[in-house]
Amino acid sequence: MENLASKMRERLPAELIAFLRIAGEGAEAQGQRLYLVGGAVRDLLLERPNLDFDLVVEGDAPRLARQLAKGEGIGGENEKGGERVTVHRQFGTAKFRRGNLSIDLVTARSETYAKPGALPTVQPGTIRDDLLRRDFSINAIAIDLSPASFGQLVDPHGGRSDLEQGLIRILHERSFIDDATRILRALRYEQRLGFKLEQNTERLLREHKSMLDTISGDRIRHELELILKEDCPEQILERAQILGVLQQLHPSLRGNGWLAERFREARQKATPDPALYLLLLVYPLSEEEIEHLIARLKIVGELERNMRQVPRLKGDLTALADPTLLPSGVYRLLKHYPPGTIAACALACDSPIIRSRLERYLNDLRYVKTSLDGEDLKRLGVGLGPRLGKMLEALREAKLDGRVSTKEEEEALVHQWLGGNLK
């Protein structure tokens, strides 16, 4: 059986190795057994960086966490040397933070599903029970941290072989039925790692993609957000379209070449926010289709408002193509739209003049301020009321169009307006 102790010493920080040894010894002293599991083991074998570590204890994770915290001098709510531990007795979990490292400690458990899409019912179990509840074979690998077998690989589902072959494989036939979020995770791992879906896994994914309808909007949205945080999310969305998964979320969604080009351009301009990617994804949709998607994914807050504004701004874009439009006109058209919506429409728009005006608004026009403020206008004789606000806006437009550039010029324009009784 393979032992990874030497690879761990090569690839992992020395302080983490020391902690894992102490933790394994602490577990044994309590008659328990501790394992490093999941993504950290996968990425160790792939020689990829990973600073999130999951530990599973056959026994009582909170009890072991308190023992380790006491021994390390990092008690529950106290911080020392950048270290911290939080224990959740009711969930059987604990979390250690050590600088940039995040270490989760959980009790080994088995799980059952009362119905498709439901959250599982869990109960204490063995490491093999715990690995069986994982999504894919490459994530169902563990490393024994017990002193006598430190570094020993535990691989009951052939994850090591699938890593070598570049395959994403589910653990049992009902995997996508029990939890259809695994469909989205399968595509995310496939594209991130440059792997392929194992043949039977792809067949079952195609057969069971309708099970995504059993998953709550919150959970679907979370998985979509994780996809949009990947380095090249357009590859995942394209694969999702090919397999019919994207259309399962909404029939009008497309992961096509148009979207891929916009995503790549977004990355060239800046580090894109996943929200910008989502706005580009929904750009081709109608107002009614966007409303349906907002309801399906339970989107709220700023992103909800930005999504709703996309079709409305699309309807105003043709006005920006007028060659005689002054900067003040651009400002008037766009000032009520949120920057995120404007940024998405700028990337999505094919017209060079419309795109340039959207970008000019984002980068310049929206930041233009007058030298005079309301108090200045009152000092110059402008009374309180709507007239004052109207004059401030007129001053801003004059500055946008280059008719004034200094405070003195603004004051002169105000005097001119007052003399002409601007209303």
**171 lies in a domain?**
no
315: domain CATH number is 1.10.3090.10
Question: Does 268 lie in the same domain as 128?
Answer: no
Angle of helix 181-193 relative to helix 233-242, nearest 10 degrees? 120
Question: Does 292 lie in the same domain as 386?
Answer: no
71: domain CATH number is 3.30.460.10
Nearest of 205, 244, 195, 245 to residue 224 by alpha carbon? 245
Total domains in the chain come to 3
Nearest of 102, 104, 122 to residue 112 by alpha carbon? 122
Residue 313: give the domain boundaries.
249-367
Question: Does 143 lie in the same domain as 27?
Answer: yes
Question: Does 120 lie in the same domain as 41?
Answer: yes
Question: Does 344 lie in the same domain as 266?
Answer: yes
**191 lies in a domain?**
no
Distance of alpha carbon 211 from its chain centroid, rounded? 23
Last residue of one domain, picked from the residues 104, 137, 164: 164
**179 lies in a domain?**
no
Judged on CB neighbours under 10 Å (0-12, 13-18, 19+), 163 is buried
Question: Does 152 lie in the same domain as 17?
Answer: yes
Question: Does 272 lie in the same domain as 321?
Answer: yes
pLDDT in single tens digits along all 423 residues of the chain: 789 999 999 999 888 899 899 999 999 999 999 999 999 999 999 999 987 889 999 988 888 888 887 765 433 444 444 457 788 777 778 887 766 777 899 999 888 887 887 777 778 899 999 999 999 999 999 999 999 999 999 999 999 999 999 999 999 999 999 999 999 999 999 999 999 999 999 999 999 999 999 999 999 999 999 999 999 999 999 999 999 999 999 999 999 999 999 999 999 988 888 999 999 999 999 999 999 999 999 999 999 999 999 999 999 999 999 999 999 999 999 999 999 999 999 999 999 999 999 999 999 999 999 999 888 888 888 878 888 888 899 999 999 999 999 999 989 998 888 876 554
**234 lies in a domain?**
no
Question: Does 345 lie in the same domain as 269?
Answer: yes
